[in-house]
Structure 1
């Protein structure tokens, strides 16, 4: 049922995801949906949690990195915010539908806009670990950098979905910012002479 809601959200928006529409999309009775979810709000919340769990599981299986290369790991994490395949494109569309709905639905916004900001925290932790290892430019604020990288990657991913930018262009933009962050990495400087 959650996947049915995601398909509706990705193709038509969450405003079209009534319990009846979800039942039809899932090929089950309305009663079956009502049995599992006491309200549309509960369906939206449960489907959102499942989407986050699903995305995290898939991302973990996809990200293959050298643990000594902080920049490559951060690049792989940011790549998860881009519509580089059908799964990520659908996830971005569904999350955009949730975002749009959250602007007019305070109860959903309270769930969707989680105060702990786990994506930003993950990116900040990766930057902070690299900073502590002497691999970043001096004077960086890991949280501010993470805030900009996550919001930038998500926004640029949306531009790719709209056809305003190409994946290649977005990747160049992300690499530009990562090169700035990792300008102090002695391992990187040694690998790429003259770059800095």
Structure 2
């Protein structure tokens, strides 16, 4: 028997997915409550029953997308701290539109970013002050330093900030057709070789 909580979760997910599609195709400015309801195939009253405000809906849709991306990334990335360069390479690939799912997610996140520039309440949700990705990248670089494969004297936090910001920007450039995927990956490989010169020397052509 289907529990009411399961039905509620599926309905909220269905509505959130409607937000994603509108955001990816038209931007969040087009995501009115009525438009979201129509896209989800439910009544406006159903949307209002599950979400007491548009802000709550947008925030929850963003949270669900983050959870979905993290689940898929964990399945794709081999988490091996004994190979920090390989681990970091896999993590940075998640910022690039390497397939339809990652391209779609990147478009949604860019729609949220654009809206956050003029919506302080959404910015407070979208722009996390905790910077978990930067901390993870910094920890991976530190693992490489401890293993002797990272370049001496580098600042792991600054390098992490540069890699995350750079990978995000490169992914958007690929979406816009300003760069090819090969170009974007070459740029990331260049920086990884600078951070992990010992590992780079063992790579083909290194």
Q: If the TM-score is normalised by the length of the shorter chain, which range does it land in? A: over 0.9
Structure 2 residue aligned with 1:122: 136
- Pick closer, same or farther for the CA change 1:45–1:68 going to 2, 3 Å: same
Matches within 5 A, 1:106-185: 106-183=120-197, 185=198
Task: State TM-score, norm by structure 2.
Answer: 0.89
5+ long unaligned stretches in structure 2: 1-14
Asked if the contact 2:23–2:108 (Cα under 8 Å) also holds between the matched residues in 1, the reply is yes
CA–CA distance in 2 between the matches of 1:33 and 1:134?
54
Asked if the contact 1:10–1:94 (Cα under 8 Å) also holds between the matched residues in 2, the reply is yes
* Cα offsets for 1:45-102 (capped at 9, x unmatched): 0011111111001100111355421101100000000001011001100000000000
- Tell me the number of residue pairs that the alignment of Structure 1 and Structure 2 aligns: 192
- Pick closer, same or farther for the CA change 1:192–1:36 going to 2, 3 Å: closer
* Candidates 105, 115, 120, aligned match of 2:119: 105
- Pick closer, same or farther for the CA change 1:193–1:57 going to 2, 3 Å: closer
Task: State TM-score, norm by structure 1.
Answer: 0.94
Spell out structure 1 runs of 4+ moving beyond 6 A.
none
5+ long unaligned stretches in structure 1: none
